[in-house]
Chains A and B, each alone.
Chain A
Amino acid sequence: MSRTGISARRRVGPGEATSDLAVQAGIAALKSAGGASVQAVVLATTTPDHPCPATAPDVAARLGLTGVAAFDVSAVCSGFLYGLATAVGFIAAGLADRVLLVAAEAFSTLLDPDDRTTVPIFGDGAGAVVLRRGSPDERGAIGPVMLGSDGERAHLITVEAGGSRQRSQGTAAGERAGYFQMQGREVYRHAIERMSAAATDALDAAGWRLDDVDRLALHQANARINAAVAARLGLPLDKTMQNIAQVGNTAGASIPILLAQATARADLAPGHRVLLAAFGGGLTWGAATLVWPELNVTAQQLEEPCTSC
Chain B
Amino acid sequence: MYELLKSILVEDLRLTVDDVRPAAAREDAGLDSLAIVELTMVLNRRLGIDVTEDELLELETVADIAQLMEQRCARL
B72 within 8 A of A: no
A193 to B36, CA, bound (A): 15
- Chain B interface size band reads 10 to 19
Q: Which of A63-71, A134-142, A223-231 contacts B (4 or more CB under 8 A)?
A: A223-231
A224 to B12, CA, bound (A): 11
B53 within 8 A of A: yes
Nearest-Cβ distance from residue B48 to partner chain A, whole angstroms = 16
Is B53 in contact with A185, judged by CB distance below 8 angstroms? yes
Contact of B33 among A185, A192, A228, A231 (CB under 8 A): A185
B51 within 8 A of A: no
Is B38 in contact with A185, judged by CB distance below 8 angstroms? no
Q: Is the interface of A mostly helix, strand, loop or mixed?
A: helix
> Which residues 16-75 of B sit at the A interface, judged by CB distance below 8 A?
33-38, 40-41, 53
A188 within 8 A of B: yes
Q: With a CB–CB cut-off of 8 A, which chain A residues contact B38?
A: 188, 192, 224, 228
Is A185 in contact with B14, judged by CB distance below 8 angstroms? no
Interface size on A, residues (CB 8 A): 11
Is B37 in contact with A189, judged by CB distance below 8 angstroms? yes
Nearest-Cβ distance from residue B44 to partner chain A, whole angstroms = 10
A184 within 8 A of B: yes
Please give me the residue from chain A that is nearest to B35 by CB atom.
A224
If A189-B40, A227-B14 are given as contacts, then 20 extra A-B residue pairs at C-beta distance below 8 Å, sorted by A number, are A184-B33, A184-B34, A185-B33, A185-B34, A185-B36, A185-B37, A185-B53, A188-B34, A188-B37, A188-B38, A189-B37, A189-B41, A192-B41, A193-B41, A222-B34, A224-B34, A224-B35, A224-B38, A228-B38, A231-B12
